[in-house]
Chains A and B, each alone.
Chain A
Amino acid sequence: MTKTAGPVRVARALVRLYPPAWRVRYGKEMLALLDESRPGWSSAVDLAFALAGEWVQALVGWRWPEEGRLRLSGLVEMLLVTAAGAGTALLALPAASWLGRDLPFPIPPFDSAFAVYVLAGVRLLLCPTYRRSENRRRWAIGRVELALWTAAIFASSFEIESGRLSATHALLHSYASHTGWEVGLVGLRGGGTLQLLGLGIERQWRRNRRIFELQDMTKAVAATAATQAPLGL
């Protein structure tokens, strides 16, 4: 067995996992390339990432690998926000119990977590649209989302008590005075706040993208300088 047999086997298996249409069009060529180039583990990793991207594109219709740095940051952010929302809800219910509240049953135990999941799902559907470029129409979708999250946060700060609308802002007050579904709202509020923070981080990434592009361009300049002659430039 040769030294590279493992990566070659893995790489060949990965090529066979590409979406069918892709396999039909490029499968043979890719296998021929693997046979000629004797890939290492880095090639197998490259194939795995590309494979994931092509499946996402085939299933959802958008190109995940493009602008990968931004999209990865967005996905990580979304997972963190979702986990934070779920975590807040899980922590909120025991906290309410410890404070002596009589929680209603059946408890809607993951109300806020569920809401965060739904909103995160909406975000997942929206993000490829408005991340792909920076034109105004797509930015507008981002702003609608921002407005929805802001509205959700403020809405969760208002609770109806004895037919009157009153504003509550203190987390402990919410735990101490209110019941399960209200505690769920606290989770939603926490998740929404984190989401807004995430959007701020994302905007920072978007600014950084220009720096990335400049770095790429600098590398490309070095790569192409030697080959301009054949084009007569």
Chain B
Amino acid sequence: MNRTPDALADLGRFSEPALLLLVSLADGPKHGYAMTQDIQRVSGQKLGPGTLYGAIARLESRGWIEPLPAEDRRRPYRLTGAGQRVLRVRLASLRAVTRVGQSRLADV
């Protein structure tokens, strides 16, 4: 993958669902329904099926997640090495934003 590690932002309106999806897959493979449940538990957001599969398709096309053999009609996905790098960079960036934001709020 020749993309820059922070290319998650290029996904436009899918960048946030994609980030949540990568986070959900960080602790192991999951299929669509398990991902929506996990994301709802972690973030309180319920991803619609169109948004979820839109994000899955974009992440898969970039090689950041990959499908595993289907189990009945459900197909689990797992994070690839490239996906893990993208997630690390993004989370580090968010952590930096959080730090700055919190320090600025503390100054108010």
Please give the residue numbers on chain A whose beta carbons come within 8 Å of chain B beta carbons, in ascending order. Answer: 11, 15, 22, 25-26, 28-34, 36-37, 39, 42-43, 45-51, 53-54, 63, 65-69, 133, 213, 216-228, 230-231, 233
Instruction: Tell which of B13, B31, B88, B92 touches A67, judged by Cβ atoms closer than 8 Å.
Output: B13
Whether B42 lies near A32 (C-beta < 8 A) is no
The answer to whether A231 and B91 touch (CB under 8 A), given A26-B56, A50-B50, A218-B101, is: yes
Residues of A within 8 Å of B56, CB to CB, are 26
Query: Closest residue to A50 on the B side, CB-wise?
Result: B50
Q: How far is the CB of B38 from chain A (nearest CB, A)?
A: 9
Whether A224 lies near B51 (C-beta < 8 A) is no
Instruction: Tell which of B10, B33, B45, B101 touches A36, judged by Cβ atoms closer than 8 Å.
Output: B33
Whether B32 lies near A33 (C-beta < 8 A) is yes
Residues of B within 8 Å of A219, CB to CB, are 16, 43
Whether B53 lies near A221 (C-beta < 8 A) is no
Residues of B within 8 Å of A15, CB to CB, are 49
Whether A30 lies near B32 (C-beta < 8 A) is yes
Instruction: Tell which of A31, A218, A233 touches B95, judged by Cβ atoms closer than 8 Å.
Output: A233
Whether B53 lies near A230 (C-beta < 8 A) is no
Bound form: Cα–Cα A32–B70 in Å: 11
Residues of B contacting A: mostly: helix
Whether B11 lies near A31 (C-beta < 8 A) is no
Residues of A within 8 Å of B57, CB to CB, are 22, 25-26
Query: Closest residue to B76 on the A side, CB-wise?
Result: A29
Residues of B within 8 Å of A47, CB to CB, are 48-50
B65 close to A (CB within 8 Å)? no
Query: Closest residue to B97 on the A side, CB-wise?
Result: A217
Bound form: Cα–Cα A228–B92 in Å: 10
Whether A50 lies near B97 (C-beta < 8 A) is no
Residues of A within 8 Å of B16, CB to CB, are 216, 219-220
Q: How far is the CB of B32 from chain A (nearest CB, A)?
A: 4
User: Which residue among A34, A47, A231 has the maximum number of chain B CB atoms within 10 Å of its CB?
Assistant: A231
Query: Closest residue to A215 on the B side, CB-wise?
Result: B16
Whether B53 lies near A26 (C-beta < 8 A) is yes
Q: Give the residues from 62 to 100 in chain B that come closer than 8 angstroms, CB to CB, to chain A.
A: 70, 72-75, 84, 87-88, 91-92, 94-95, 97-98
Bound form: Cα–Cα A132–B101 in Å: 28
B52 close to A (CB within 8 Å)? yes
Q: How far is the CB of A205 from chain B (nearest CB, A)?
A: 14
Whether A231 lies near B50 (C-beta < 8 A) is no
Residues of B within 8 Å of A32, CB to CB, are 31-33, 72-74
The answer to whether A69 and B13 touch (CB under 8 A), given A32-B74, A37-B33, A220-B20, is: yes
Whether B13 lies near A66 (C-beta < 8 A) is yes
User: Which residue among B20, B50, B70 has the maximum number of chain A CB atoms within 10 Å of its CB?
Assistant: B50
5 CB-based A-B contacts, threshold 8 Å: A37-B36, A49-B50, A65-B14, A216-B15, A218-B97
Whether A29 lies near B74 (C-beta < 8 A) is yes
Bound form: Cα–Cα A217–B91 in Å: 10
User: Which residue among A15, A34, A50 has the maximum number of chain B CB atoms within 10 Å of its CB?
Assistant: A50
Bound form: Cα–Cα A216–B9 in Å: 11
Whether A33 lies near B52 (C-beta < 8 A) is yes
The answer to whether A51 and B50 touch (CB under 8 A), given A32-B32, A63-B12, is: yes
